[in-house]
Amino acid sequence: MKRNELKTKAARFTKLVEWSAADACFVGSAPPLIGPCCHGDDEAKVFGELCQIVEEWIVNLETDGKALPAATVDRRKYSGKFVLRVEPILHRRLALKALAEGESLNSYCAKALAKA
7: left (phi over 0), alpha (psi -120 to 50) or beta: alpha
Separation between Cα atoms, residue 73 and residue 112, nearest integer Å: 26
Q: Are residues 9 and 59 in the same domain?
A: yes
Domain region containing 93: 77-116
92 and 115 share one domain: yes
Instruction: Output the pLDDT for position 13.
Output: 93
The answer on pLDDT for 109 being more than 90 is yes
Query: Is the same domain home to 82 and 47?
Result: no
In this structure, are 17 and 46 located in the same domain?
Answer: yes
Q: Are residues 81 and 58 in the same domain?
A: no
Say yes or no to pLDDT of 115 above 80: yes
Q: How many domains does the chain divide into?
A: 2
User: Whole-structure pTM over 0.75, yes or no?
Assistant: no
58 and 101 part of one domain: no
pLDDT for position 77: 81
Residue 72 lies in a domain: no
pLDDT digits (tens, 9 = 90+) for 9-35: 999 999 999 999 999 999 999 999 999
Q: How much is the average pLDDT of 73-81? A: 82
φ/ψ (deg, to 5) at 25: -160, 170
Q: What is the CATH number of the domain that holds 56?
A: 3.30.160
Max distance between CA atoms of the chain, in angstroms, equals: 60
Per-residue pLDDT of 82-106, as tens digits, reads: 999 999 999 999 999 999 999 999 9
β-strands 34-40, 25-30 pairing: antiparallel
Query: Please, are residues 84 and 26 in contact by the beta-carbon 8 Å criterion?
Result: no
Q: Are residues 55 and 82 in the same domain?
A: no
Alpha helices in 15-104, H assignment, sequence order:
43-63, 88-101
